[in-house]
Every structure is written in structure tokens, then in C-alpha cells.
Amino acid sequence: MHSSQQSQQKHNVFISFHHKDEQYKVEFETKYKDYIISKSVKYGDIDPDNEDDYIKRLIQEDYISHSSILVALYGAETHERKHVDWEISAALSAKVGGHSGFVVMILPTFPISPFDQFGRLNLKLIFPYLHPRTVANIESGFANVYFWPGLYPYLTPVTIPSLLGAAFNRRITHKKLIDNFHKQYINNR
């Protein structure tokens, strides 16, 4: 398939997020509906009073296994959420429908700037506000970090179709770089 055709195809995307950032999830699904088929959990789909093991299995079998790309939306408190860690772990597992591509999207609600005192982009500055599993996959080269469109207008813009296409391809071409060895969160932090 030609690369321009590849970037225009619709991808099955699971969007992982903290409920406080749901407006960004909804906006992403709405704004980019021509490029994605959302396989994400919708509000009310899963009873939070269910047992953790049941929730994990439900998310894996009914949502993530049908996705080829996981987009993790990181806001102020996302890194503290056990469900987001579970979703990332499941998306990186060959046992759960094969490996998904992994996109890390930094939201406007993210607590710190990724720029050092000289104005240089330094992704290591944001690592304390990401799950250890996410950091490991950025460092390995499997996951790419992007910023919510318009968040830093002076950075070279990346289109959603191109970042989805890149993640879709990397799930195959870079699968040996997947680092899914961190223990899953047991509780929210």
C-alpha cells in the first residue's frame, strides 16, 4: 500500500485517558472520525464496582483486542490511574489481539512543560508524570510522544493521519522494542 493511502485509512483506535480529561477523548473521536474507528470504553460501559480482574478481562477482550493502535491521552493525573496502566499493558501484549501501536499524546492539562530553561525540548522532563511502562516504551523507541494539536504551535506540526499511520506500522516494524515488563499498578497512586 502506498504511504499516502496508508495514512488515510481508518484505524481501530483505543483511547486511554483519565476521566477528568474525557472532553479531550470526545474531541479526539469527533475531530478525527474520518481517520479512526473508536474502540474505546464509553461512560457507563463498565461498572466501576466490578472486581478488578473482571474489569481487566472485559477491557482486554471487548475493546483492546479489536484495536490496532492505543492512544494514551496524558493529562495532569493520568499517570496515577491503574486502569490506564492496565490498558497500555494489554495493548502491548501479544496475547491480547496482537501488539497495538502506541501513541502518547500530551494534553493541555499536563502539569509541566517539556522544555528546559533554554527552551529546548527535553522529553525526560515529562517522564515523572507518565506511567513507568509508558516511559520504558518511549525510551526503547516503540512509542512516540506527540502534543495535543496547537498546544505548542512553534513545534513542527504532525498530522493525526501521519502519527496514526506511523504507530500502525511500528506495531510490526518495531515490535521487538516493546517493553511490557513493569508490574501492573494494583491501586491508583
Transcribe 9-62 into DSSP letters.
S-EEEEEE--GGGHHHHHHHHHHTTTTEEE-PPPTTSS-TTS-HHHHHHHHHHH
Question: Is 100 part of any domain?
Answer: yes
The model's confidence at residue 49, banded by pLDDT at 50, 70 and 90, is confident
Nearest Cα residue to 71 out of 104, 100, 39: 104
- Here the cell at position 64 is 483492546
Q: Residue 59's pLDDT is what?
A: 66
Checking if the pLDDT of 160 tops 70, the result is: yes
- Here the cell at position 26 is 470526545
Q: Specify the DSSP class assigned to residue 100.
A: P
Which residue is associated with the grid cell 488515510?
A: 8
Structural domain boundaries enclosing 22 = 3-177
Question: Is 188 part of any domain?
Answer: no
> At 66, phi and psi to the nearest 5?
-100, 10
Round the CA-based radius of gyration of the chain to a whole number and report it: 16
How many domains would you assign to the chain? Answer: 1
Q: Residue 4's pLDDT is what?
A: 46
Question: Is 83 part of any domain?
Answer: yes
Question: Is 187 part of any domain?
Answer: no
Output the pTM of the full model: 0.89
Question: Is 186 part of any domain?
Answer: no
Length of the chain: 189
Instruction: Decide: 78 and 21 in contact? Cβ < 8 Å.
Output: yes
Q: What is the mean pLDDT of the chain?
A: 90
CATH number for the domain spanning 110: value is 3.40.50
Question: Is 184 part of any domain?
Answer: no
Instruction: Decide: 108 and 76 in contact? Cβ < 8 Å.
Output: no
Query: Tens digit of pLDDT for each residue in 51-79?
Result: 778 777 776 766 688 899 999 999 999 99
The model's confidence at residue 3, banded by pLDDT at 50, 70 and 90, is very low
